[in-house]
């Protein structure tokens, strides 16, 4: 875990007291353990979190979280992300694969592809890339129907691949 020096006093049993969450960073702090990459932190490489992850600083590489990933408005991330859900309020470049919902908050920017069950793009967010809406995302038990790509096979069941470039003023 990474925290500011003044947050060190809040440490108790290897957990950090989560400060008031910024607007647009609502998913990662709902419950459980949260790893925080602080505003002044710059990480390069693989970031792995057994719980949720909140990024206020800069990360470059790969991010794997068993929980949710939340990028605050001041964050700058260039990575591939795998998580339960993701919320982007800062700048993000890379690919996102989530089992649930991808959320682009007001002021957030994503340059890359998003694979998820649901995608929410708020007014004022920017999304440049491909959105793949796939109900089978992250399911290891779902058979690969007749050897085809899962999202292609799912088209017959109401799922579809979408290519979108969205800029909401």
Domain ranges of the chain: 5-167
Reduced to 3 states (helix: H, G, I; strand: E, B; else coil), residue 132 is strand
What pLDDT is recorded for position 22? 45
Please list, in sequence order, all residues whose beta carbon lies within 8 angstroms of the beta carbon of residue 102, skipping any fewer than 6 positions away: 85, 86, 88, 96, 114, 116, 118, 119, 120
Mean pLDDT along residues 60-69? 95
Task: Report the chain's mean pLDDT, rounded to a whole number.
Answer: 74
Please, are residues 38 and 56 in contact by the beta-carbon 8 Å criterion? yes
DSSP notation for 50-97: SSEEEESSEEEEEEEESS-EEE-TT-EEEEEEEES-EEESSEEES-EE
Range name among 26-30, 90-94, 144-148, 154-158 with the lowest pLDDT average: 154-158
| Cα–Cα distance, 59 to 90 (Å, whole number) | 12
| Cα–Cα distance, 17 to 14 (Å, whole number) | 10
The fraction of the chain above a pLDDT of 90, given in percent, is: 54
What pLDDT is recorded for position 91? 97
């Amino acid at each position: 875990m990474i925290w500011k020096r003044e947050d060190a006093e809040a440490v108790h049993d290897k957990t950090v007291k989560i400060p008031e969450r910024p607007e647009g960073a609502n998913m990662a702090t709902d419950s459980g353990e949260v790893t925080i990459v602080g505003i002044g932190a710059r990480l390069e490489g693989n970031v792995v979190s057994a719980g949720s992850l909140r990024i206020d600083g800069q990360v470059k590489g790969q991010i794997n979280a068993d929980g949710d990933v939340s990028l605050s408005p001041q964050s700058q991330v260039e990575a591939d992300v795998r998580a339960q859900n993701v919320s982007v309020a800062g700048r993000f470049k890379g690919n996102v694969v989530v089992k649930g919902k991808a959320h682009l908050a007001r002021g957030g920017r994503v340059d890359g592809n998003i694979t998820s069950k649901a995608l929410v793009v708020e007014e004022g967010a920017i999304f440049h890339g491909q959105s793949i809406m796939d109900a089978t995302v992250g399911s290891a038990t779902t058979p690969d129907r007749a050897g085809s790509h899962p999202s292609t096979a799912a088209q017959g069941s109401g799922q579809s691949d979408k290519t979108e470039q969205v800029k909401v003023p």
